[in-house]
Amino acid sequence: MRNQIVAGNWKMNNNTPETELLLNNLIKYKIRNGVSVYIAPAFTQLYQSVIKLKGKDIKVAAQNVNAEVSGAHTGEVSCSMIKGVGVSTVILGHSERRSLYSESNNFLKEKVITAIESGMEIIFCFGEELSERKENKHFDLVKNQLTKALFHLPNDTWNQIILAYEPVWAIGTGETASPEQAQEMHAFVRQQIEYKYDASLANSVSILYGGSVKPSNAKEIFSMADVDGGLIGGASLNAEEFIAIVNAF
Ligand code: 13P
């Protein structure tokens, strides 16, 4: 059985007191057995979160990392810096980084290589814009994103990869993909992995859905055969809502 995962991407929200408050609220709840739960705060809140969540069933992830190991990259953060504060998972390929910070598939490939070589786990995001779906280009687009950024990886590194399908038109809009649309894309992705690698690898990779997941729609989305959990934005900023999503399996 594949790992069931719910990850909260806090984006550029929660300063130190706000993080303290949200973490205090989160740790009041019991996490459902068998579900791996992550939160991804800003870099400046990683250490605070790691300390606060020590011994709890919630892991901490970073939202980004630089492709270089060290050096003259003012304002950037390396894998070893992230690992040094006790974090070994990173989100890469988020649509906001692709669109707002021009991160291309080839650029992401470099980040993926560095993160894998550093022994990090990657939550790799991909997904199409509304215009691409309307033109029926979404499968080709996703295939291209995965091929360029991930399909160079050797078979034995895929245990460090979690995939997250986030159709851009569903992020922060209140409009989710229907469970059928999510299932259709997740099955397509699994099939591409099988073509490139093999069926056993394809069946072992967890694929999360992200885009306006709420307590009210999580159960239906998570019930789809190839959906193994969610990457949650807005609803992860509220402990009660986030835990309700975690418990929606
Ligand atoms: P929302 O849940 O706010 O739509 O955000 C999804 C997302 O971008 C998670 O990475």
In the chain, where the domains are located: 4-246
List the strands of the sheet with 4-9, edge to edge. 58-60, 35-40, 4-9, 229-232, 207-210, 161-165, 121-126, 89-92
Q: Calculate the average pLDDT of the chain.
A: 97
CB of 211 within 6 A of ligand 1: the answer is: yes
Catalytic annotation on 166?
A: yes
Kindly name the residue from 94, 138, 186, 241 that is annotated as catalytic: 94
| Distance in angstroms (rounded) separating the CA atoms of residues 153 and 109 | 9
Ligand 1 neighbourhood includes 230 CB (under 6 angstroms): no
Instruction: Please identify, by atom number, the ligand 1 atom nearest to the C-alpha of residue 235.
Output: 2
Site to probe by mutation for ligand 1, drawn from 212, 237, 241, 245 as the one with most ligand atoms within 8 Å of Cβ, is 212
Does residue 212 line the site of ligand 1, with CB under 6 A?
A: yes
Q: If pLDDT is split at 50, 70 and 90, which confidence band does 1 have?
A: confident
| Dihedral over alpha carbons 226, 232, 233, 238 (to 10 degrees) | 160
- CA 53 to CA 57: how far, in whole Å? 8
Q: Is 94 among the catalytic positions?
A: yes
Q: Which fold has domain 4-246?
A: TIM Barrel (3.20.20)
Residue of 9, 12, 213 to mutate, ligand 1, most atoms within 8 A of C-beta: 9
Supply the pTM of this predicted model.
0.98
The pLDDT score that the predictor gives to residue 47 is: 98
| Listed residue (62, 63, 7) closest to 31, CA to CA | 7
Q: Tell me, what's the pLDDT at 175?
A: 83
